[in-house]
């Protein structure tokens, strides 16, 4: 379970060896330590040093997240045995060599393959627009070519490996697939949503606002999985040179899960009452749209239910949030025993 403090004035402390959340109105709830997998706090909330120390002692990640995007901004962790030095040392080498790029190529390819599966599923629906169906074949062909190139990438001679050129190539291939993919989503979605293509922050249409928040929730899940398994969220392969001191490894690791957020956004967009005007509000600077408090509740509930739903994973049916943790665990195990070139 995650403790999520987002109400202004909420306060996290310790009472009788348990976490205690007190609201501004005076109400209090107690949570046993064994129940808590992570603690998430937004601006306007607070915690005692006792609560921080208890979280650290129990290896419970504590994250400060953006209230409007749900993305992680900073974290507190114990730095104990879970953060094995061997993993971090090897991750540094891995992130700058051929093996790291082979891994990130497979990650990007998996994302594109899942995007293709989503488009194919939408194409089988009776209400699929004609424009969507007309563009589906060419889109899947283009995306398949990019996924194949990324998955099969290899450098026969390490001396030919020039990191900036490979990174630029990967970004170009992933970017080509993403442009085609979001063009197709635009042909599928109702025109009233005003979706003309992918936007980051700020978003100027409801569907992009949904995607931004859902991706933020995924960032938090992936960031927590990295921390729990001893990975350094700030030591990336592909995104290392793009975002400076941000959790760039989280950005690398999140890629194959983005289509999951897209699926939730599409499902929400198809229920008119879930996307009423009250769900969105203008940003304080009038640049773009944010989810309102009521909107966040609806989106969070939908995403949490989706992540708890089991799907096929290596011959078993596992919850999607479990799959994220296992993928991070497999990478950590690989890096711990990595034979550094």
Which tens digit of pLDDT belongs to each residue from 82-104?
A: 457 889 899 999 998 889 999 99
Q: Which CATH class is domain 86-336?
A: mainly alpha
Q: What is the mean pLDDT of residues 123-137?
A: 96
Judge if 2-60 and 86-336 fold alike in CATH terms: no
Q: What is the pLDDT of residue 339?
A: 81
Q: Say whether pLDDT at 81 is over 60.
A: no
Q: Contact 3/40 with Cβ under 8 angstroms?
A: yes
- For residue 57, CA distances in Å to 3, 16, 51, 54, 121 come to 17, 16, 10, 5, 46
Average pLDDT rounded to a whole number, residues 318-326: 94
Does the pLDDT of residue 331 top 90, yes or no? yes
pLDDT for position 287? 75
pLDDT > 90: what percent of the chain? 48
- Kindly list the domain boundaries of the chain, sorted by start residue: 2-60, 86-336
CB 135 within 8 A of CB 183: yes
Residue position matching structure tokens 């978003």: 203
> Between 3.40.50.720, 1.20.1200.10, 3.40.50.1860, 3.100.10.20, what CATH number should domain 2-60 receive?
3.100.10.20
Closest Cα to residue 155, out of 114, 100, 90, 192? Answer: 100
Determine contact, residues 20/4, Cβ cutoff 8 Å.
no
pTM, to two decimals: 0.85
């Amino acid at each position: 379970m995650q403790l999520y403090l987002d109400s202004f004035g909420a306060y996290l402390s310790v009472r009788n060896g348990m976490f205690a959340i007190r609201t501004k109105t005076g109400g209090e709830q107690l949570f046993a330590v064994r129940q808590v997998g992570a603690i998430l706090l937004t601006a306007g909330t607070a915690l005692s040093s006792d609560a921080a120390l208890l979280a650290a002692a129990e290896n419970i990640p504590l994250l400060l997240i953006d209230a409007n995007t749900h993305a992680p901004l900073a974290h507190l962790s114990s730095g104990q045995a879970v953060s094995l030095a061997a993993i971090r040392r090897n991750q540094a080498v891995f992130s700058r060599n051929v093996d790291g790029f082979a891994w990130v190529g497979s990650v990007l390819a998996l994302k594109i393959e899942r995007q293709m599966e989503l488009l194919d599923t939408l194409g089988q629906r009776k209400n699929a627009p004609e424009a969507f169906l007309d563009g589906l074949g060419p889109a899947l062909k283009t995306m398949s070519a990019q996924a194949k190139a990324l998955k099969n990438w290899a450098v026969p001679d390490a001396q030919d490996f020039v990191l900036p050129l490979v990174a630029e190539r990967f970004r170009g291939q992933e970017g080509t697939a993403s442009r085609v993919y979001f063009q197709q989503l635009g042909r599928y979605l109702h025109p009233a949503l005003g979706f003309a293509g992918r936007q980051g922050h700020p978003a100027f249409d409801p569907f992009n606002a949904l995607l931004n928040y859902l991706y933020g929730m995924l960032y938090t899940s992936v960031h927590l999985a990295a921390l729990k398994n001893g990975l350094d969220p700030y030591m990336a392969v592909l995104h290392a040179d793009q975002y400076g001191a941000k959790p760039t490894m989280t950005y690398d690791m999140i890629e194959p899960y983005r289509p999951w957020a897209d699926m939730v956004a599409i499902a929400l967009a198809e229920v008119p009452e879930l996307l009423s005007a009250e769900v969105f509000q203008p940003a304080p600077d009038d640049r773009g749209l944010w989810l309102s408090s009521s909107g966040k509740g609806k989106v969070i509930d939908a995403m949490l239910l989706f992540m708890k739903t089991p799907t096929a994973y290596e011959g078993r049916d596992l919850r999607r949030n479990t799959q994220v943790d296992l993928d991070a665990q497999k990478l950590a195990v690989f890096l711990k025993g990595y034979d550094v070139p």
